[in-house]
Structure 1
């Protein structure tokens, strides 16, 4: 027994001596997994951030705001049930882009990331209005960032965009981790210029002098055919497929989104439910199952007899790889037509209007001859023509369509839409913005209150600076 005690004492003393004498030993990477890098690569960070584009393009609610769609049995979304919308996910994606910029030494990588950052942040400010921007994403260095005015955000975004476009090296390295444009920096440059043009026109009501300047800086550098349309490239894979296919087929198996009576009736026009005046409807929707004709579902109501109504085209809701568009040639042509009307350029508004309709027809699978016949009945009569036709052409472009509809309304020539009579979330009409997250006031009280005082109530129908 005594001998065992001596042996144990010697053992513990040896262990103690080992730990006390080796406390400064460098164990190197003994606990590091060589197959899991601790420093994320620029490519992986960009790839992750690009996923936000799908979330933005595939959102259901803005397509209901502009009345392209109606709900099936559950009508709350078309009556504006959701008041508060969380910004955390979007700031998380912006943070990934900032980290990517920090770890990259490739100017083209940095330029692409910055352009993507501008695209996402512009989408955010058109949804919420004032947001943390200049003081955002500073972590513990600034836990309570101020909310910048929308004007300040726009000025900052133009500065970022111009800087990114200036650093592009056409003969330089490809963009790593880029699955939207396949690493092609020339596509990023064209996308950045198109984004700049769209943002410039967005200022037509709020700051037309700056809008005209920026518009003309981008003119001639943007996409010039449907072949160059910008879209999110989905895969036949459940991890990165078209979100609308996921809603209608696996894993959701819901039949809850129908084409609205507002949209269908406008495109049927002087034609009939079996032979609509606007042939684009054949590419945008399917005839109702029960009648074999185009029938729109009443907007803002419960429509449980879904087989009585037209669904979104099966080319989208039944296809994992159906693209969702970011910007299109038709949108660019309508922008140029409106800029000509405003006197920003020397181009001809009527010619561009007709070219835009033709591009939209071809985008939706119709022929130029069909477009010509439609134009013959729907010629250019002024900016109201652009307001209506742009609403049609932006079908299924969700947040982009909602932003442009509000801007065109502010300009006085947007296509008029009527909100349902029984609204939720204290809405008084079609939403003008989305409210901040429910926790925004408690997490950053002083800055939140300052924003509310400057911008107006945190409500769906507070009009933001761009569209006042």
Structure 2
């Protein structure tokens, strides 16, 4: 792929962090000198920022959300701790290096340099990436340094802004919200620009600003849906305006590419197949949920431990149609299954893990951040809920949008369109929404949960916002509150220690306190 040298530098640092201790004595989030990379050109900043964004979503925070939403189960080391809700003292590196010392400061520097260079094309993309990465951060942590962050030595104790203000803005406090930041980014993309991204500098859209505008409108859909429980009318109006300009084909999904060489690989591959191959595996709960629905994505998302057999039972049904999958129970205090010989790699444990669609043959699979199927699930939910101010596209219904979302997910995974139609015919309880509205929302979000395997952050947002799918507590729960799945991530110790005087910081907040938009 392009820019391998730069990508290798970016990702080699990240891979090293993923296996290092999670307790650093450095505070990098808001002490960064905002001028430290002014010598780096805009093309290099764009490339590195995109890659760090994808890396961060799939790295340690992605592993944690993966077990919390029961896509995966933790069998050892950090994933095993996250699986039973032990999240404290775990994510200093993610906060300091990947977020505030990575994607966030890079986005701000990109905006600043682009503004100085009369290049709103770069500034617009920088604002979209900044909005996405700040949304990622506040969604996990709640109140965070936002409007006063990323100012370098001029403010060593930036205020912790309320999440409501981060999303909606607060003029009295001079806070521009994420929704308006995204709109500003979209407006910049329409302005004449001295410099524009090229195919070599843009690993996602190859410099196509029209596709970046689709990404920005999809980001508005995502932000609006996230706050729709607290602000249904605002959410409905935003979704209504943004839907026509959002990603509308799988080919234009916002997904970050990775490579197969060391330092360039997808972190889901790097961790699960190179660094810690015995730590994380398919959750038995997701396996059961997909198997009972005869979901054809199961053998695409996960590998089998035994091949498919063509045995037919007395009712004419093929037994073991996809192969045998071996999951692991979330929170189980049991030894891993015994090792068995597996073709081409006898060291693999007898369990199912991510298949090549999620992690690539050698790490080259993309990290999928915003997608066409996401748009369709968002519109299906908005139509089913009847959000104020929202009108479905002409001729569309919650039912048709729901089926289109599943179809988009399945065809993206490589299932032929005709086979999706056949699946709907054979599985009407999956294909058709029930008349009861609450049950219909459950079904929409459950299918979205399945589609988001590989990006559990989005599924974690939906679960906290809706309570769907109905996830049971893990075995042997612990953490701040053993009676509930964590509702937020705890602030890193380095942040609490270095920013103890910051307005709005509540270091005593527990992981059982919902974030603002989930209340």
Question: Structure 2 length as normaliser, TM-score?
Answer: 0.76
The Cα of 1:242 is off from its aligned counterpart by 1.4
* Corresponding position of 1:362: 411
Pick closer, same or farther for the CA change 1:264–1:249 going to 2, 3 Å: closer
Which of 371, 377, 385 is the aligned partner of 1:342? 385
* Corresponding position of 2:150: 137
Distance 1:332 1:425 in 2: 34
* Corresponding position of 2:16: none
* Corresponding position of 1:26: none
Task: Judge conservation of contact 1:79–1:423 (CA < 8 Å) in 2.
Answer: yes
* Corresponding position of 2:208: 184
Distance 2:385 2:292 in 1: 29
Task: Judge conservation of contact 1:435–1:459 (CA < 8 Å) in 2.
Answer: yes
Distance 2:335 2:511 in 1: 25
Distance 2:66 2:246 in 1: 26
More deviation in 133-142 or 189-198? Answer: 133-142
Which of 416, 434, 451 is the aligned partner of 2:489? 434
Q: Deviation digits for residues 411-452 of structure 1, max 9, x if unmatched?
A: xxx11101224233323321111011113333222326x332
1:178-257 matches, within 5 Å, as 178-250=202-274, 252=275, 254-257=277-280
* Corresponding position of 2:298: 281
1:266 partnered with 2:289: yes
Pick closer, same or farther for the CA change 1:213–1:188 going to 2, 3 Å: same
Distance 1:351 1:170 in 2: 37
Pick closer, same or farther for the CA change 1:445–1:289 going to 2, 3 Å: same
Task: Judge conservation of contact 2:38–2:113 (CA < 8 Å) in 1.
Answer: no
Distance 2:357 2:384 in 1: 35
1:96 partnered with 2:145: no
Runs of 4+ in structure 1 off by over 6 angstroms are: none
1:393 partnered with 2:417: no
The Cα of 1:298 is off from its aligned counterpart by 1.4
The Cα of 1:110 is off from its aligned counterpart by 0.5
Which of 452, 474, 477 is the aligned partner of 1:423? 477
Distance 2:66 2:399 in 1: 28
Runs of at least 5 residues in structure 1 that lack an aligned partner in the other structure: 1-36, 271-276
Task: Judge conservation of contact 1:73–1:304 (CA < 8 Å) in 2.
Answer: no
Higher Cα radius of gyration: 1
Which of 114, 120, 142 is the aligned partner of 2:127? 114
Q: Deviation digits for residues 122-145 of structure 1, max 9, x if unmatched?
A: 000001000111111222322211
Q: Deviation digits for residues 358-411 of structure 1, max 9, x if unmatched?
A: 1111122223333334432321112222121111111121212211221122xx
Pick closer, same or farther for the CA change 1:346–1:158 going to 2, 3 Å: closer
1:71 partnered with 2:74: yes
1:27-66 matches, within 5 Å, as 39-59=39-59, 60-66=63-69
Task: Judge conservation of contact 2:54–2:369 (CA < 8 Å) in 1.
Answer: no
Task: Judge conservation of contact 2:86–2:480 (CA < 8 Å) in 1.
Answer: no
Pick closer, same or farther for the CA change 1:175–1:314 going to 2, 3 Å: closer
Distance 1:266 1:245 in 2: 24
Distance 1:98 1:219 in 2: 27
Which of 119, 126, 131 is the aligned partner of 2:139? 126
Q: Deviation digits for residues 13-65 of structure 1, max 9, x if unmatched?
A: xxxxxxxxxxxxxxxxxxxxxxxx97222222233322321222322111111
Distance 1:349 1:207 in 2: 20
SS in 1 for 2:501: helix
More deviation in 334-343 or 285-294? Answer: 285-294
Which of 297, 313, 320 is the aligned partner of 2:355? 313
The Cα of 1:99 is off from its aligned counterpart by 2.0
The Cα of 1:232 is off from its aligned counterpart by 0.7
More deviation in 175-184 or 415-424? Answer: 175-184
Distance 1:466 1:369 in 2: 39
Task: Judge conservation of contact 1:79–1:424 (CA < 8 Å) in 2.
Answer: yes
**Paired residue total:** 418
Task: Judge conservation of contact 2:120–2:192 (CA < 8 Å) in 1.
Answer: no
SS in 2 for 1:446: coil
The Cα of 1:314 is off from its aligned counterpart by 3.8
The Cα of 1:315 is off from its aligned counterpart by 4.2
Distance 1:287 1:99 in 2: 45
* Corresponding position of 1:27: none
* Corresponding position of 1:30: none
Which of 322, 328, 337 is the aligned partner of 2:365? 322
* Corresponding position of 1:352: 401
Question: Structure 1 length as normaliser, TM-score?
Answer: 0.83
**Superposed CA RMSD:** 2.3
* Corresponding position of 2:87: 82
SS in 1 for 2:281: strand
